[in-house]
Homo-oligomer: A and B are copies of this chain.
């Protein structure tokens, strides 16, 4: 029985932009573990494996339910030790740093450009919940967020820091991708799958790495449906 991954879908069920679900999808692909996606929307938490928790990703593997992308990835490495996501504790510590950088720098810069786009693409039943929850989280209306000036420039400035490792190494993991690549690439799948436009320009070495990441696992991420 394949492991189940609860993933978030927009009105078109093939469009699944959740960054945290993508981090887990990359980890599952890296470990060559088969998984069955179970699609949920934003609003109807009764469809979630733990309605009170009310968030995704969640994986259900036989009797086990594991929540939160970081906990899931650690659990995967412990439960399925083949094809480890990190080779050393230093790499695992670095993964925490990359994740923390996403929260302090990349997400605050890019999110205002995405939320109204995601709202437009969400299922009709999800729209009121999505609007209310995001407007509360950001303290602004979706329209105010979309009109914030300078977010493209902030996003591009935020990405500069990745030029240092990616100017010298093919992957954040060095020669081959590791957990750090999957965490950062998971986050980058969010803008890719929330809009048909390329809403920012990454530094050259980061853009080249992004293409390599899209190619992994027979182009799994490249083939993921984007809005048209």
By a beta-carbon cutoff of 8 Å, the part of chain A in contact with chain B is 86-94, 96-101, 104, 160-169, 171-175, 178, 180
List 10 tightest A-B contacts by C-beta distance, closest first: A89-B174, A94-B94, A100-B164, A93-B165, A96-B164, A96-B165, A90-B173, A93-B169, A90-B91, A100-B161
Q: Are A89 and B175 in contact (CB under 8 A)?
A: yes
Q: A161-B104, A174-B90, A175-B89 are in contact. Are A96 and B180 (CB under 8 A)?
A: no
Alpha-carbon distance A127/B187, docked complex (angstroms): 47
Residue A162 contacts which of B86, B97, B160, B174 (CB distance < 8 angstroms)?
A: B97
Q: Are A97 and B178 in contact (CB under 8 A)?
A: no
Q: A88-B174, A89-B169 are in contact. Are A94 and B161 (CB under 8 A)?
A: no
Q: Are B93 and A172 in contact (CB under 8 A)?
A: yes
Alpha-carbon distance A100/B165, docked complex (angstroms): 9
Q: Are A93 and B171 in contact (CB under 8 A)?
A: yes
Alpha-carbon distance A211/B75, docked complex (angstroms): 31
Q: A104-B160, A160-B104 are in contact. Are A165 and B88 (CB under 8 A)?
A: no
Q: Are B100 and A180 in contact (CB under 8 A)?
A: no
Nearest-CB residue, chain B, relative to A101 = B161
Q: A104-B161, A160-B104 are in contact. Are A180 and B90 (CB under 8 A)?
A: yes
Q: Are B174 and A92 in contact (CB under 8 A)?
A: yes
